[in-house]
A = this chain, B = another copy of it.
Amino acid sequence: MPSSLHVIGHQQPDTDTICSALAYARLKQAQGVDATPARAGEVNPETQFVLDRWDTESPSLLDDAAGEQLILVDHNEYSQAVSGAHDATIVEVVDHHRIGDIETSDPIYFRNEPVGSTATILTQLYEEANKTIDAQTAGLLLSGLLSDTVVLRSPTTTDQDRSIADHLADIAGVDIEKYGKELLQQKSKIGEKSPRE
C-alpha cells in the first residue's frame, strides 16, 4: 500500500488537536495537496460537542503510522505522537509548544509559535495562503483556540489569540463569551465518566 499523508495531533486528543487536524487538512486540500485528517486516540466529550455543533465528522483513527507521511499539529515530540511515528516520515509540523525531539533528514516546514493554540497559527496560515475560511472551519478553529486558552483567560493567551478569536467568531457567527461558556460546560464533563464506562 502506498503511504498516505495524514494531518494528526497528539495522543489523548483535545479540541485544539482535532480541530487543527481538520482545518489544516482542509487548507492543504484547498492547495491541491491530498491530505486527510486523522486522530491518535478517542475523541473527548468536549470535542464531540464541537464536532456536533459544527456538523463535522470526526477524523478517522490512525492506529499505526509506520510507513506513512505525517503532518504533526499541536505537538512536536515523539512521546506524544501517534504510535509508529518513529517509523513514519514527518513532512511538516505546526505547533505552539516547547521544541521537542523531532529530527528530520530533509528540510521541512516547521512552524512553532508561542501563542495560545495551534488553531491561532492555522488561521494565519489560511491568511498567508490567501484562502477563505468558511463558517464551519472558523467554528472549529475558534473552538480549538477557546478550549486551549480557557476562553482567552489562560496566561498563555496573547494579543494575537484575541484578535484572531474575534475574526473567527465573526466568520462563524457566534458570540465568544456565549459560545465559550457552552464549551467550558462541556470541558467540565471531561473526567466525569466513571471507569466502568
CB of A106 within 8 A of CB of B114, answer: yes
Query: Once the chains are docked, how many angstroms separate the CA of A109 from the CA of B106?
Result: 20
Q: Are A98 and B109 neighbours in the complex by a CB distance under 8 Å?
A: no
* Most chain B beta-carbon neighbours within 10 Å: one of A99, A105, A110, A111: A99
Q: Within 8 Å of chain B (Cβ to Cβ): is A128? A: yes
- Per the bound structure, the CA–CA distance linking A128 and B113 in Å amounts to 14
Question: How would you classify the secondary structure of chain A's contact residues: helix, strand, loop or mixed?
Answer: loop
Contact call A110/B107, Cβ cutoff below 8 A: no
Residues of B within 8 A of A162 (CB): none
Check A99–B98 contact: CB distance below 8 A. Answer: no
A187 at the interface (CB under 8 A from B): no
A124's nearest neighbour on chain B, judged by CB, is B128
Distance, CA A105 to CA B97, complexed state (A): 9
CA distance A111 to B110 in the complex (A): 6
Provide the bound-state CA to CA distance between A105 and B110, in Å. 17
Q: Are A107 and B98 in contact (CB under 8 A)?
A: yes
Q: Are A114 and B107 in contact (CB under 8 A)?
A: yes
A114 touches B104 (CB 8 A): no
- Residues in B whose Cβ lies below 8 Å from that of A93: 99
A-B pairs with beta carbons under 8 Å apart, 5 shown: A96-B107, A98-B105, A99-B102, A107-B113, A110-B112
